[in-house]
Amino acid sequence: MGVRKRQSAELRKEAQKTQAFAKLLNIPSSPRKMRLVADMVRGQEVFRALGILKFSNKEAAARVEKLLRSAIANWEAKNERKAENGELYISTIFVDPAPMLKRLRPAPQGRGYRIRKRANHVTLFVDTIDNNAKTKA
């Protein structure tokens, strides 16, 4: 690995030690469906987002709710205190495509239609609301 690449990787690792985040890998649903749920909660205060996810009728919402609870627990572990109401918000959430499973489905006249079983990865970062004000000022 080159020197520049190694230095940037070390900087990224140091930055992640201070940030609270959670990742969910290889979820067997399409990224498009998961992005609909991610867009509902992006930038929301965490307890409000939990309410939105709890009462959403999308299947992906239950997975994102569990991921958000994990990110909150990670923040509490790093800061050694409980999260209070109105203190945390979802600073970043993004959905990336995971490797696709390719299957064949029988079709008429001896043909086979390709079925693409999509999957996704979700990454969610939480941050304190007052931390956001410091960085913009």
Domain locations in the chain as residue ranges:
20-136
Q: Is the pLDDT of residue 131 over 90?
A: no
SS3 71: helix
- Report d(CA 84, CA 88) in Å as an integer: 8
How much of the chain exceeds pLDDT 90, in percent?
82
- Report d(CA 6, CA 52) in Å as an integer: 40
> 20-136 maps to which CATH number?
3.90.470.10
Name which residue leads in pLDDT, 130 or 132.
130
pLDDT tens, position by position, 55-92: 999 999 999 999 999 999 999 999 989 988 889 999 99
Extract the tokens encoding 54.
């709890």
pLDDT the model gives residue 28: 96
